Amino acid sequence: MPRGARSGERSPVTPLEVLLERTKGPPFPLPPLLRGWYGPLRLQARRGRPCVYANLACTLDGVASFGGRGSGGSDITGPFPPDRMVMGLLRAVADAVVVGAGTFRAIPHHRWIASQIYPRLAGTFARLRTDLGLPPYPVNVIVSASGELDLGLPVFHTPGLKVLVVTTRAGEARLTARRWPEGPEVWAGGEGPTLRARTVLRAISRHGPLRRVLLEGGPHLLGKFLKEGLLDDLFLTVAPQVGGRSDAARRVSLVEDAAFGPDRPLWAELRSVRSSRDHLFLRYATNSGGRRGGWTGAVPSGAPPTRGPKGPPRG
């Protein structure tokens, strides 16, 4: 039985091995099963805006998606229960879960709630949300500049699940013209063809002073939040497979539509490392220390210089 679990409450998988823990602050009051399986979970409050954290997965060579309809994170991690439990836990403490239109279309019948990703622990996740004073489900936020969404999908018709579509003026017109009687709330964030990360957070704030916003992709949306310095923590599952790339198979990387370094590097700080079998569960702080936009001109201790004489090629 995992450490801290109640009698009769047994984790469905072996507890994660905690290899490194540098997080600070009070931990969430996790139910004994989750506390014994994961260990402490902390998210630092931010001043003036929600704490924004992302949860994504990639292969050993940085591939985050193989592309195509139905190509979700399970293609990267495999049907690996610990990864799904981590996803469920991070959703369970969120006020809102944000996905881009590409992620939405890749898994169209999904709902971004804890019980969807790991139904076996639905009751445990529900108890955690109750203990935190949260409603049964986080607000599901879909970011779509075009507004071209199938409003007949389950996410829009789940009792008790609030859905917010953040779009442009053109997208708003496209959605409202369809006159769905019980459609999602739609918020238009500008006249242009694209949407900024700050626009997304401003739209979410209409639902009240939300404290924690979870970003689940995809790589294009992650790039926006990183460019604007609005991502605080990255939870990254590294799967033990190699994706590769070729002319015939262009693979999406962890971050798209944003380029960092070498002139303006974006360094992250390693906060925790957990493992289960051959998978690694990493957590990085990407906007720590109050640096503007998350940028830092300083090189972390032990990292190579960004300029200067070139050494021999690695390997």
What number is the average pLDDT over the span 283-307?
Answer: 55
Q: What does the alpha-carbon distance between residue 13 and residue 195 come to, in Å, rounded to a whole number?
A: 40
User: What does pTM read for this prediction?
Assistant: 0.88
- Tell the burial category of 260 from Cβ atoms under 10 Å away from its Cβ (0-12, 13-18, 19+): middle
Smallest CA-to-CA distance from 11 within 136, 116, 118 is with 118
Q: Are 256 and 274 in contact (CB under 8 A)?
A: no
Q: pLDDT band at residue 53, thresholds of 50, 70 and 90?
A: very high
The whole-number pLDDT of residue 181 equals 60
Residue 92 pLDDT > 90: yes
125-153 pLDDT, tens digit each: 999 999 999 999 999 999 999 999 999 99
- The residue among 3 and 54 whose pLDDT is bigger is 54
Which residue ranges form the domains of the chain, and what is each CATH number? 73-243+251-289 (3.40.430.10)
How many angstroms separate the Cα of 57 from the Cα of each of 86, 97, 221, 234? Answer: 11, 16, 14, 10
